[in-house]
Amino acid sequence: MVRFVQGQGRGLLVLSAVIAVALAGCSGGSATVAPSGTGATGATGAPTDSTQPASVGLGGAASALSALDSYKYTMTLVGGSVVTQIEMLPGVSISDPNTPVTIKGTVVNQPDKGVDIKIADFHMIAIGGFDYFDTGAGFTQASDTGLVDTLLPVQAFSTAIDPTAVSGYDKIGTESKNGVQADHYQASKSALGYLASIAGVEGTWTSDVWVATDGGYPVSMAVVAKASDNTIAYEILFDITAINAASNNVAAPTNVTGA
């Protein structure tokens, strides 16, 4: 059901490579950052005691999101190895490890794929087989690094919810979310226990997903673990907006160095 920490190894390696590229672009030199571990692992079996299994729509939600023409998103992360790597990016300064990291982006899948994301003062555009990184002194160009894929909501969704086994989530209703009519799914008690065990984070867990009734893509996700003092120990939040809006646009920058 849940693969929360597992499967992030490639993303961490990619982040390390991109950090080196970005730092080199800022300083004119080179830098090497060693990847951190992939996090704790725990139980290997998914819970199966849901009394109202999630529909096939939840299992196919990630694919449906990738099939949209375009959208905007906001994603907030707390804790985890990927966040540790993001904090090393030039232009991203976080003094407290429990401080949320916010990613804002525009994704265009059709007719040509392009992604424009910002994390604090770090700005990245991926389009046409190239990645462009800007930390305030103009963009630096690199061949496609794959970084952008680790920072998209479709990756967060697929990592948190295994599309082949979603029985640990129950549909609890239908409601409006981000202006879209959506089915609301909530993780069962055993699903939350499994999620906590593989994340290696103790606390009170909740996990909610909203999937568009028309289109089957995730509109919003909230995976949260609160520590005993009520602080956020781990969190993945995202919201999808401006779905297929004509104003969604991603273009390659013109002020590029090292091209």
Each residue's pLDDT tens digit, 56-73: 467 889 999 999 999 999
The residue behind tokens 């959208």 is 71
The model's pLDDT over 192-251, given as tens digits with 9 standing for 90+, comes to 887 788 778 889 999 999 999 999 999 999 999 999 999 999 999 999 999 999 999 999
Q: Average pLDDT over the chain, rounded to whole?
A: 78
CA 56 to the chain's CA centroid? 22
Residue 181, phi then psi, degrees to nearest 5: -70, 125
Higher pLDDT, 111 or 8: 111
Residue type at 240 in one-letter notation = I
The pLDDT confidence band at residue 84, using thresholds 50, 70 and 90, is confident
Tell me, what's the pLDDT at 240?
A: 98
Which has the minimum average pLDDT: 13-22, 25-34, 42-51, 100-109? 42-51
148-173 pLDDT tens trace: 988 999 988 987 776 544 568 889 99
Contact between 223 and 209 (Cβ < 8 Å): no
Share of the chain above pLDDT 90, in %: 45
Q: Is the pLDDT of residue 85 over 80?
A: no
Angle, CA 92 vertex, CA 91 and CA 93 arms, to 5°:
115
pLDDT for residue 98 is more than 90? no
Q: Is 7 left (phi over 0), alpha (psi -120 to 50) or beta?
A: left
Tell me which of 14 and 252 has the higher pLDDT. Answer: 252
Predicted confidence band of residue 138 (pLDDT cuts 50, 70, 90): confident
Question: What is the phi-psi region of residue 58: left when phi exceeds 0, alpha when psi lies from -120 to 50, beta otherwise?
Answer: alpha
What is the rounded CA–CA span in Å between residue 108 and residue 116?
9
pTM score: 0.80
174 — pLDDT class (breaks 50, 70, 90): very high
Give the separation between CA 88 and CA 23, rounded to whole angstroms: 10
Strand, helix or coil for residue 130:
strand
**Would you say residue 9 has pLDDT above 70?**
no
* Both tokens assigned to 240: 């999808």
Closest CA to 153 of 215, 71, 86: 71
